């Protein structure tokens, strides 16, 4: 994991996105002219996109360098954000940068991990993720075609039947994702451990695993089996 450089960023608003031995940054320009006509230094932690305080006037990108992204992943993210601030409105560019952050900030997910996490994302984050991977494909990075095919096919556009007795308002993909998440949670439980009285007596709350938590997990899994 890279060292968090937030302290330095707050002082000068500028920092290197890449490690010293990186060669992935060769395609990244030093300066760009965004759609509003403003000149932006790409290495800055904050990109000012508008002269006024309108929607999307500022994109904060310090998280790219302080997270767990590889040099190549940082390069790809920057290429997408550069494409948006040059060709799209400031509000659209800002929405994509904010929306895709929880999906990629710990490293680009595998297609399997993205499918599992999909149901937990709000619609705006799903759309931002779809735009992000779609832009990578349009920029020539064909290895992300499967990602874009998946995201573009699962944007909650299908008809939802809230009275469906089996899956309610969930789409087929969301329902499968919920089941996979439940299976993963149950698989983490060691049923061979002897539990004390507190385990059975306490109610579930954040940070404490109790019998009621286990009961709820198993009950829900059996109900949707």
What are the tens digits of pLDDT across the range 31-79? 999 999 999 999 899 999 998 887 889 999 999 887 689 999 999 999 9
Q: 95 in a domain, yes or no?
A: yes
Do 101 and 14 sit in the same domain of this protein?
yes
The percent of residues in the chain predicted with pLDDT above 90, rounded, is: 42
Do 77 and 3 sit in the same domain of this protein?
yes
What pLDDT does residue 207 have? Answer: 54
The percent of residues in the chain predicted with pLDDT above 70, rounded, is: 70
Do 25 and 102 sit in the same domain of this protein?
yes
The boundaries of the domain holding residue 215 are: 172-223
CA count, 13 A, side-chain hemisphere, 21: 1
Do 93 and 191 sit in the same domain of this protein?
no
Three-state helix/strand/coil letters over 7-20: HHHHHHCECCCCCC
Q: 126 in a domain, yes or no?
A: no
Total number of domains constituting the chain: 2
Report CA 111 to chain centroid distance, whole Å.
13
What pLDDT does residue 205 have? Answer: 56
Among 106, 126, 161, the domain boundary falls at 106
Sequence-distant (6+) residues with CB within 8 A of 126 are: 118, 151, 154, 155, 156
Among 78, 106, 134, the domain boundary falls at 106
Q: 179 in a domain, yes or no?
A: yes
What pLDDT does residue 132 have? Answer: 97
Q: 135 in a domain, yes or no?
A: no
Q: Over 70: is that where the pLDDT of 208 sits?
A: no
Among 77, 106, 135, the domain boundary falls at 106
């Amino acid at each position: 994991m890279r060292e968090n450089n937030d302290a330095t960023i707050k002082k000068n608003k500028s920092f290197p996105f890449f490690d010293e031995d990186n060669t992935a940054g060769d395609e990244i320009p030093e300066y760009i002219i965004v759609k509003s006509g403003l000149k932006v230094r790409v290495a800055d932690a904050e990109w000012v996109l508008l002269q006024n305080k309108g929607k999307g006037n500022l994109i904060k990108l310090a998280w790219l360098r302080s997270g767990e992204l590889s040099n190549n992943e940082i390069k790809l993210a920057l290429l997408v954000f550069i494409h948006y601030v040059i060709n799209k409105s400031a509000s659209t560019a800002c929405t994509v940068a904010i929306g895709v952050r929880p999906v990629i900030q710990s490293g680009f997910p595998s297609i399997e991990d993205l499918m599992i996490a999909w149901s937990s994302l709000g619609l705006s984050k799903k759309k931002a993720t779809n735009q992000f991977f779609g832009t990578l494909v349009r920029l020539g990075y064909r290895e992300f075609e499967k990602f874009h095919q998946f995201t573009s096919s699962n944007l909650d556009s299908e008809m939802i039947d809230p009275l469906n007795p089996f899956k309610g308002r969930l789409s087929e993909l969301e329902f499968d994702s919920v089941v996979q998440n439940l299976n993963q949670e149950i698989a983490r439980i060691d049923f061979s451990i002897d539990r004390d009285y507190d385990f059975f007596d306490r109610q579930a709350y954040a940070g404490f695993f109790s019998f009621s938590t286990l009961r709820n997990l198993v009950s829900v899994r059996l109900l949707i089996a």
